[in-house]
Structure 1
Amino acid sequence: MDWRDEGALLAVRPHGETAAIVEIFTAEHGRHAGVVRGGTSRKMTPILQPGTQLSVEWRARLEEHLGAFRVEPVKSRASATMGERRALYGLGAACALLSFALPEREPHPGLYGATQHLLDAMGHDPRWPELYLLWERALLEELGFALDLGTCAVTGSEEDLAYVSPKSGRAVSRAGAGIWADRLLPLPGLLRGEPATGLDDVLAGLRTTGFFLENWLAPALGDHPLPGARARFVALLEREEQG
């Protein structure tokens, strides 16, 4: 069995004395793991960094085997993220969530394209935190936990939508929320495709997507806690907003 593909490196862990097991989010084969011989060598260590775009060849005797990768670098994203702490943390959060949430060997072409767009924007486009929030919403949708933010769950109105129900994932207007507003999650316009007003919009949206990642997605995957990398990224943005 063998195939060729391209993708972004998500995670690396040592295997034996000199090899490494890597996880790559590929265009046609989804999240796929394999062994890289010599993966911990001085030559390979700078290449095998989270976010690096790789051309890969996977081979195994049987399809169900772990198999081995031959990898060639296509694009390094290290220089863009190493120069900006925010981008470094965001890259770590995105890669960790993909490794955590995606089923193995299942293609997700739409999410793959969104991920490529996000990773390429980090460190280059100052609006990339907005893209990250929309990417988290896309991740939820891709895995079967879409938020319905088009109309109010109570009144059916499309106007003045300000909240999200933590029970249904549906939008709620200010009028529909009434005295229950403090029990609902925030719905910044950014989550509905409107321009962001600032970092506070991003943080409000991350509070909402974070709730559904933690309370809908994680339990469906065995109730494992979300990767700590996401919490560290959000905490960094909160410190920036405060200071």
Structure 2
Amino acid sequence: MEWRDEGALLKVRKHGESSAIIEVFTQAHGRAAGIVRGGTSRKIAPILQPGAQLDVTWKARLEDHLGSFTVEPIRSRAAQVMSDRVALAGLNAVTSILSFVLPEREDHPPLYTRTIQLLDLLGQGEVWPLAYLQWEVALLEELGFGLSLDTCAVTGGNDELIYVSPRTGRAVGRHAAGDWADKLLPLPPVLKGEGDADIAEILTALRTTGHFLTRHLVPSLGDRSLPEARARLLDSLARQV
């Protein structure tokens, strides 16, 4: 078995004396893992940095084997995060979440395209937080937990949609919420795609998407917890408020 693809490096861990096992989010083969022979060497180790864009060739005797990768660098994103605390936290959050939630070898082309676009924006602090929020919304949609924010779940109208049902992910209008208002999640305009927003509003929106990540998506994966890297990213963003 053999295939060649392009993808973003998600995770690296040492294997044996000189090799490494890597996970890559690829365009046509989803999240894939394999051994890189000599992956800890001075020649290859600098290439294997999370977020790096790689040309990879995977080979194995059988399809269900771990297999091995040969890698060629396309571009590194290390320079974008080395001196930017938020960019580094963002990179760690994106790679950790993808490694955690994506099924192995299941392709997700729309999410892949969005992920590469997001990684290419690392270090652009004016636009990256909003792009990250939009990426989380897309992630939920791609994995079957999308939000429905166009009309009120109670009335069917679209006036003053300021809440989200924590159970269904549907919008709720101000007057339809009634006595349940304090049990609903906030729906800031930015989460509906209505223009730009400051960091405080983006953080409010991320707390809402975070509910669906932790209470809906994560339980579907078994007895696990969302990577702490996401919480560290939110902490880094909160320091900017």
* CA deviation profile, 1:9-54 (whole Å, cap 9, x unmatched): 0001111111110000000000000000111122222211110000
More displaced 10-residue stretch of structure 1: 220-229 or 196-205: 196-205
Is 1:202 matched up with 2:202?
yes
The 8 Å contact of residues 130 and 197 in structure 2, kept in 1 or not, is answered as no
User: Which letter does structure 2 place at the counterpart of 1:80?
Assistant: Q
* CA deviation profile, 1:199-239 (whole Å, cap 9, x unmatched): 01110111011001000011000030000100111111112
More displaced 10-residue stretch of structure 1: 61-70 or 117-126: 117-126
Is 1:165 matched up with 2:165?
yes
Partner of 1:46: helix, strand, or coil?
A: helix
- Alignment match, 1:231: 231
Write the distance in 2 (CA, Å) between the matches of 1:90 and 1:161: 29
Write the distance in 1 (CA, Å) between the matches of 2:62 and 2:72: 23
Write the distance in 2 (CA, Å) between the matches of 1:57 and 1:2: 7
Structure 2 regions of 5+ residues with no counterpart? none
Shift of 1:74: 0.2
Write the distance in 1 (CA, Å) between the matches of 2:77 and 2:177: 43
- Alignment match, 1:60: 60
- Alignment match, 2:80: 80
Write the distance in 2 (CA, Å) between the matches of 1:160 and 1:100: 36
The 8 Å contact of residues 191 and 205 in structure 1, kept in 2 or not, is answered as yes
Partner of 2:51: helix, strand, or coil?
A: coil
Write the distance in 2 (CA, Å) between the matches of 1:159 and 1:54: 47
- Alignment match, 2:220: 220
Write the distance in 2 (CA, Å) between the matches of 1:163 and 1:127: 25
- Alignment match, 2:180: 180
User: Which letter does structure 1 place at the counterpart of 2:80?
Assistant: A
Write the distance in 2 (CA, Å) between the matches of 1:197 and 1:23: 34
Write the distance in 2 (CA, Å) between the matches of 1:161 and 1:87: 32
TM-score by length of 1: 0.97
The 8 Å contact of residues 163 and 186 in structure 1, kept in 2 or not, is answered as yes
Shift of 1:59: 0.5
User: Which letter does structure 1 place at the counterpart of 2:229?
Assistant: A
- Alignment match, 2:113: 113
Write the distance in 2 (CA, Å) between the matches of 1:28 and 1:197: 34
- Alignment match, 2:31: 31
Shift of 1:125: 5.8
Sequence identity (%): 61
- Alignment match, 1:146: 146
TM-score by length of 2: 0.97
Is 1:50 matched up with 2:69?
no
Write the distance in 2 (CA, Å) between the matches of 1:167 and 1:91: 30
Write the distance in 2 (CA, Å) between the matches of 1:189 and 1:18: 51
The 8 Å contact of residues 196 and 202 in structure 1, kept in 2 or not, is answered as no
- Alignment match, 1:69: 69
**How many residue pairs align between the two structures?**
241
- Alignment match, 1:20: 20
Structure 1 regions of 5+ residues with no counterpart? none
More displaced 10-residue stretch of structure 1: 94-103 or 150-159: 150-159
